Copies of this chain bind each other. A is one copy, B any other.
């Protein structure tokens, strides 16, 4: 039975929930396929995550390996293939709680970086799981700065082998997933030396464990790096190599080859490889970032209409906490952000598909723009969504702090996305470098890529809004965002030039501008997100109330951004204080409007109870009952030796009844 406080929220939806779900999935047929995959996975007890919050790191690892092995069988059974329409829903249905993800990266790196011969040898072995692969790039001492990796691979012409070594402790491979305990093979990135000359970083296939008994190979020291904030199911590992020899054929050689006599040959273009790196940042947005945020919104919003606390009106029943303006102000902007980033992700996917087609035609013109967008958006979206999940967690008070709410693990999981696949600050500075370059070009009348043409059309002006309703016009707020982006980029470019002209060295000047460059890059991405959201809404069908509610969310996202960052808009007087008060008024009005549809909106995300795995967020809203039943199963409710050992001796001389 559904909690009546939740049920009543569903009766007043202003739009058709099922149609919004289809919109998010990209069509009703996609919804059908996704649900079939979710059903198949969730009805299989091997994939259950029910005990997840009670398990140790060791137990989580074992379960993840079990699931990974079982998944092969399942896919065969269900007729799912890697190229089928179901494939992309599997990982989401498993909530990522499965091993051998790096095995896929191992395979991809061979496919992309390997010669045809290498592909022909290794890919079938990997596909049939006759080995378990990993990908060993990051070292203890180097993450972001790949050129600084210290592992060495010295070519020995006598034996036709590369000799791999970890010359010092900071060169130890550190973090590679599946490597701590599972992998038999890995792709090691190392500085290639031939005849004493360094040729930079290259990838080598290295066997690290025996295929007979799984013992470490000679010269290999490897293990698990221990406890982390999350990803307990993954055996992130370390790897030390001491004179480990691999045959010449094990250097992945699509782009570079070492010939038997030690001659180094670079062949083909590495640009496509560079492109692969940037696509990874885009590909993770959907499953790793948006799904956790949507889950967190679902949990926090459902809980907020079931939780009643204190009174809004004297003499009445206690109020649902979502009826408090402060609670709306915490949660509804996060919900709006989930949609904003969902739609900008569609935009980025389209752009990257287009880029991929161009590159196949050997046209690499789009690369700098794609790189800048993927870097900036990866950083902005991960940062924004991580903060959003944390807000959802805190908005649920004490119950949000219990692992059983599901929110702590969503938070600690999404937090990692700010760090992996490029540290966010570094990425934003790469975007900023592109923006400064484009701004200079645009100022000089040169052509610039489509996403930054707005830099050429700088007009001073003032915001034309005359009343609070004007701020519900996408033109008004999109232009305000555009104005801020241009101002931040141009003023930082000017500061940079001034410093250089005053004699500061170029790299020092750059460093002295980085705090502002980061702001500029964020403003650029924020502008594109708002503009894209507004354009998407315009194109939606008007029926079933979808366009109307999406318009409200778009307005809310845009006005929340202004309200939270008023200084950027007030600074040069583009927006006046009176206009800012209109923004505030419109923004607060919108909260009350969207609050009415909050539950139907999260229902449209269409998460099953099993996928939420939350005592607070279930579809029926029976929060307290679930918390109690779940807590009783905790291992902390088994007998503890602490009583016999410490409490009994302490209490032994007390009277029987006080």
Residues of chain A whose beta carbon lies under 8 Å from any beta carbon of chain B: 53-54, 56-58, 61-62, 65-66, 68-69, 122, 125, 129-132, 138, 140-145, 148, 169-170, 172, 174-175, 180-182, 184-185, 207, 210-212, 214, 223-229, 235, 238, 307-310, 312-314, 318, 323-327, 329-330, 390, 394, 397-398, 400-404, 408, 412, 415-416, 418-420, 423, 425, 429, 505, 507-508, 511-516, 518, 565-573, 577, 580, 584, 588, 624-625, 627-628, 630-638, 640-643, 645-651, 653-658
Task: Please state if A651 and B131 are interface contacts (CB–CB under 8 Å).
Answer: yes
Known contacts A129-B651, A309-B142, A325-B512; A415/B402 CB under 8 A: no
Task: Please state if A624 and B656 are interface contacts (CB–CB under 8 Å).
Answer: no
Q: How far is the CB of A528 from chain B (nearest CB, A)?
A: 22
A570 CA to B129 CA in the complex, in Å? 62
Q: How far is the CB of A141 from chain B (nearest CB, A)?
A: 6
Task: Please state if B636 and A125 are interface contacts (CB–CB under 8 Å).
Answer: no
Q: How far is the CB of A247 from chain B (nearest CB, A)?
A: 11
Task: Please state if B223 and A145 are interface contacts (CB–CB under 8 Å).
Answer: no
Going nearest first, the 3 A-B pairs with the smallest beta carbon separation are A566-B567, A226-B634, A567-B567
A371 CA to B531 CA in the complex, in Å? 46
Residue of B nearest to A122 (CB): B658
Residue of B nearest to A566 (CB): B567
Chain B residue contacts of A185, Cβ below 8 A: 658
Q: How far is the CB of A171 from chain B (nearest CB, A)?
A: 9
Chain B residue contacts of A637, Cβ below 8 A: 180, 223-224, 226
Q: Which of B142, B329, B512 contacts A515 (CB 8 A)?
A: B329
Residue of B nearest to A121 (CB): B658
A143 CA to B309 CA in the complex, in Å? 8
Residue of B nearest to A426 (CB): B310
Q: How far is the CB of A360 from chain B (nearest CB, A)?
A: 32
Chain B residue contacts of A634, Cβ below 8 A: 57, 223-227
A37 CA to B391 CA in the complex, in Å? 39
Chain B residue contacts of A577, Cβ below 8 A: 571-573
Known contacts A143-B309, A628-B169; A646/B66 CB under 8 A: yes
Chain B residue contacts of A138, Cβ below 8 A: 398
Residue of B nearest to A329 (CB): B515
Task: Please state if A238 and B628 are interface contacts (CB–CB under 8 Å).
Answer: yes
A56 CA to B649 CA in the complex, in Å? 24
Task: Please state if B211 and A651 are interface contacts (CB–CB under 8 Å).
Answer: yes
Give me 8 other A-B pairs in contact (C-beta within 8 A), A56-B56, A57-B635, A148-B309 excluded: A53-B226, A66-B646, A69-B649, A145-B318, A169-B624, A174-B627, A180-B637, A214-B651
Task: Please state if B226 and A403 are interface contacts (CB–CB under 8 Å).
Answer: yes
Task: Please state if B229 and A636 are interface contacts (CB–CB under 8 Å).
Answer: no
